[in-house]
Structure 1
């Protein structure tokens, strides 16, 4: 209990504004927060989302403390990401709150996705059988739950046929969990036939990933030499270890052709993250990344601030591209920050380019 206060404790909260340090808020009785918890707090006349941060709280008059209003039902931001935010703030001379702001870009994702109302077959039979009803019953065999529209589409009937069967007790209402934004990639779906040099490079990357330790590899090869196929094998190795993967690309390179190429190798597309992504999809990707449901993200530089739960590999394709540089509010180069993220998280980073930057080439030569 805080002296002269009805609250039991206090916690430092980093809010998304140009603040040089976290602000101290009171923790009401019955509320549990840990470092990394995403909370809603009062800030002046507004309510904003913030992150419970590390470190000791400031000595503030208990009577002046304002309470945390809500703890969102969301996985906490892990220790590695919090260190990453602090490191960027110190390196770029930016307020930590402005760096944290890039992490909190999908506020609607802080609450769980609602479950969907669906239908499931019961043991009852309709009083009269028609061709349309027969198709519905055949489609619904196996006990799987369906959405009303999904079942109607799969059976090739109108929704009124589904409604009629439900009214007769042939289907019962069940709740279906939210659909994943993408299917899970399969590392063994379509293993490629690589040339000897490609196989050697892929084997080295796979060994680095299997070691589960930090290291940076520069993948240098002319256009068309198969760099993508090679680093896809590193992605497969990370997936085999149960890790998530981030593939960074300049937005201009995040094309339909790349997504299809990934799908041909892994049987599913990666989740996308870029400026043209619709807000609702951004929220779903953010949430499912934080819960570990999305295993691979292909995105622009801002994807570096997604709250990965089990990140085990970052690939920076076209690492020389100037599009990785942000020059608004927080100035940084996503290629360099990806290396820092790997160092903090203790996992490998792959830089790929047909024309490596001078600094990457020098670093690779110097080891």
Structure 2
């Protein structure tokens, strides 16, 4: 325990650990967040164990005193060990990982109140179009002027004018006001035999307060959520905190409704769309132990829980749990490690578990619990293939005749259909019909995707957008742009031609980009206000619509293109998940899969509904290739704004590669996405045996090579993206 001196982990990795003197009368402990001087500035740091943070000794006489201890609970030993493990495993800096823990600067300030505003019920002296828009958008809302302006799409000046006229009234609020309390016994469900058996084991694991990694493997519609809610209830009864990780913010609102119906109060949410005051309030409630259940995206995993008793990773197979920039961690795997350090159960719930998770269960490292059938008598849908080499859609069309007919029949019966294509926008490629010019992103080696709804050409990698030009920039020909290939917007247009009276909903990350919009979509679908849903992978995740009886997969082969080493597994998971949206109520479901390769093993397995056969074949293929879970992958990505500089740096790394029997090193070579956000990229790929000390090899290797300031070298352990 620190006494007269303290070693700090500083939030700037370039500084390294720094030692300070603890002034008389100040009490610090390991994990305390403190303010310290650095030159003329003040910086923040975490008091850390000297043995875990080695540094050159500094004489006592040269130590500067700490300035203050921040009034929040210290970071626990269990979370400090998780920070160390994550930094070590993913070859990241301790500071980079610790920044995810202290992710709300406002939370570190003391108790506070703030002024928010809401409509008073009065009317302005004069109604303008902007004021009218504000009135429509702000009904029932309360927030700061800046946040209200964002919600209403008007300037802050417009709202301040309404404040001056008394139309918006100020409300003083306690920033850290308590949350409503959830009750474990509020609305207990009736579980079927299989759910009761599984929930009993999950409740037992919570009671035992020991590390227990559990794979909850249940078919779509089997009631996995209701089942693990019983473990959540037991944790609440025992005054322990619960973390539930969800892969997509769009799922949050539907989940919150189910949670509130079961426990009588909504959980605390944590995701990127939170206002700064909401983030502060949540962080402090979590750190103090007041927060009972937190539902969030992967970043919620690093919050400073005071008394964590259970972690649930829902839809645990989802690749969105893998962070692709900054600290490149997989939240599913880090969740298991947090459970290990906290000595609590971790539940990985999925209808299509990752092959690595199934392997861990098969080898006895994870416990596997199975829900083999759908809840309430619902049956799994019938699956049929449509061979597009035989049932070709017409010219310029993408929906085959059998799928068209099935959609017509569903509409006539008042049932819902869902069409799935994992491609946003109207078309993946736009070119000039006169000269063949292709529209490319100026910042990336990627085509611009036409979004006809927003009238933009957009890059899905860097976010660059531009309006479609009136003439070709290459040949000057007017009105010459032609869309090549389908996106979901184009499919929605085709649905409108086939079913002109149908009410069509387009569901993508562009249209459901907030929890509120997702909630509106769910309410419309459940209320029967939608006939046909057209969507990307977002529609594969967790939605439950009892009247949805038909799922059509527009292009099941799309995910098999591009050489992704996990392509078959991802395709199986996506198509199986979207197929699972059909027939979840009393009416039988049907799935029609359009494909040009019906003989492909993954497509044949989907048709047969034989998941185990697919996973067995995929497991053997991985075993022979030395791929995960039988081997290890890692990628080293070298980038610079100058192509020659990036290439030279990558070649220097390649020239100093270690010669090892248990590690194969490929490259360097240009990355498939060779230009990303104006940076040229080269990649080396490592394939190692399980016995290799992969992280140690990479650290020692890269430490021998210096690079110019403009070069970045990133390491991706267990990569999911190969672009």
After TM superposition, is the score higher than 0.5? yes
1:301 alignment counterpart: 298
Contact kept, 8 Å, 2:249 with 2:297, in 1: the verdict is no
Contact kept, 8 Å, 1:246 with 1:297, in 2: the verdict is yes
1:37 alignment counterpart: 32
**What does residue range 186-265 of structure 1 map to in structure 2 within 5 Å?**
186-265=183-262
Query: Among 70, 89, 95, which residue is 1:97 paired with?
Result: 95
Whole-angstrom distance in 2 between the partners of 1:291 and 1:349:
22
Q: Does 1:292 pair with 2:284? A: no
Whole-angstrom distance in 2 between the partners of 1:316 and 1:21:
34
Distance 1:347 1:253, change over 3 A: farther
Q: Does 1:106 pair with 2:104? A: yes
Question: How far has the Cα of 1:253 moved from its partner?
Answer: 4.7
Question: How far has the Cα of 1:105 moved from its partner?
Answer: 1.2
Contact kept, 8 Å, 1:19 with 1:95, in 2: the verdict is no
Contact kept, 8 Å, 1:116 with 1:178, in 2: the verdict is no
1:229-257 residue CA offsets vs partner (Å, 9 max, x unmatched): 00111111111121100000112453211
Please identify which structure carries the higher helix content.
1
Mean alpha-carbon deviation: is it higher for 244-253 or for 202-211? 244-253
Contact kept, 8 Å, 1:338 with 1:349, in 2: the verdict is yes
Contact kept, 8 Å, 1:38 with 1:74, in 2: the verdict is yes
Larger Rg: 2
Contact kept, 8 Å, 1:41 with 1:67, in 2: the verdict is yes
Contact kept, 8 Å, 1:17 with 1:101, in 2: the verdict is no
Q: Does 1:46 pair with 2:47? A: no
1:75 alignment counterpart: 73
1:3 alignment counterpart: none
Contact kept, 8 Å, 2:175 with 2:281, in 1: the verdict is no
SS of structure 2 residue aligned to 1:197: helix
4+ residue runs of structure 1 moved beyond 6 angstroms?
none
Whole-angstrom distance in 1 between the partners of 2:266 and 2:180:
7
SS of structure 1 residue aligned to 2:324: strand
Contact kept, 8 Å, 2:34 with 2:45, in 1: the verdict is yes
1:181-230 residue CA offsets vs partner (Å, 9 max, x unmatched): x3111010000001111111111111111111101111111221100000
Question: How far has the Cα of 1:94 moved from its partner?
Answer: 1.2
2:86 alignment counterpart: 88
Whole-angstrom distance in 1 between the partners of 2:187 and 2:346:
24
1:283 alignment counterpart: 280
In structure 2, the gaps of 5 or more residues are 116-172, 365-723
SS of structure 2 residue aligned to 1:349: strand
Whole-angstrom distance in 2 between the partners of 1:84 and 1:187:
29
Whole-angstrom distance in 2 between the partners of 1:265 and 1:36:
36
Whole-angstrom distance in 2 between the partners of 1:362 and 1:336:
14
1:14 alignment counterpart: 9
Q: Work out the number of aligned pairs and report it.
A: 303
Contact kept, 8 Å, 2:175 with 2:277, in 1: the verdict is no
In structure 1, the gaps of 5 or more residues are 1-7, 118-174
Question: How far has the Cα of 1:20 moved from its partner?
Answer: 8.2
Contact kept, 8 Å, 2:177 with 2:281, in 1: the verdict is no
1:171 alignment counterpart: none
1:161 alignment counterpart: none
Distance 1:18 1:27, change over 3 A: same
Question: How far has the Cα of 1:45 moved from its partner?
Answer: 4.5
Whole-angstrom distance in 2 between the partners of 1:44 and 1:229:
55
Contact kept, 8 Å, 2:29 with 2:47, in 1: the verdict is yes
Contact kept, 8 Å, 1:254 with 1:299, in 2: the verdict is no
2:59 alignment counterpart: 61
Q: Does 1:272 pair with 2:273? A: no
Question: How far has the Cα of 1:176 moved from its partner?
Answer: 8.1
Higher relative contact order (CA 8 A, sep 6+): 1
Whole-angstrom distance in 2 between the partners of 1:303 and 1:187:
22
2:310 alignment counterpart: 313
1:126-183 residue CA offsets vs partner (Å, 9 max, x unmatched): xxxxxxxxxxxxxxxxxxxxxxxxxxxxxxxxxxxxxxxxxxxxxxxxx989421x31
1:141 alignment counterpart: none
Contact kept, 8 Å, 1:19 with 1:96, in 2: the verdict is no
Distance 1:282 1:116, change over 3 A: closer
Mean alpha-carbon deviation: is it higher for 42-51 or for 316-325? 42-51
Contact kept, 8 Å, 2:245 with 2:313, in 1: the verdict is yes
Distance 1:29 1:177, change over 3 A: same
Mean alpha-carbon deviation: is it higher for 89-98 or for 266-275? 89-98
Contact kept, 8 Å, 1:49 with 1:107, in 2: the verdict is no
Whole-angstrom distance in 1 between the partners of 2:346 and 2:333:
10
Question: How far has the Cα of 1:366 moved from its partner?
Answer: 1.5
Contact kept, 8 Å, 1:251 with 1:274, in 2: the verdict is no
SS of structure 2 residue aligned to 1:188: coil
Distance 1:269 1:42, change over 3 A: same
1:265-306 residue CA offsets vs partner (Å, 9 max, x unmatched): 000001000000111110110001000111100000000111
Distance 1:19 1:97, change over 3 A: farther
Whole-angstrom distance in 2 between the partners of 1:111 and 1:220:
43
Question: How far has the Cα of 1:112 moved from its partner?
Answer: 3.4
SS of structure 1 residue aligned to 2:191: coil
Contact kept, 8 Å, 1:15 with 1:97, in 2: the verdict is yes
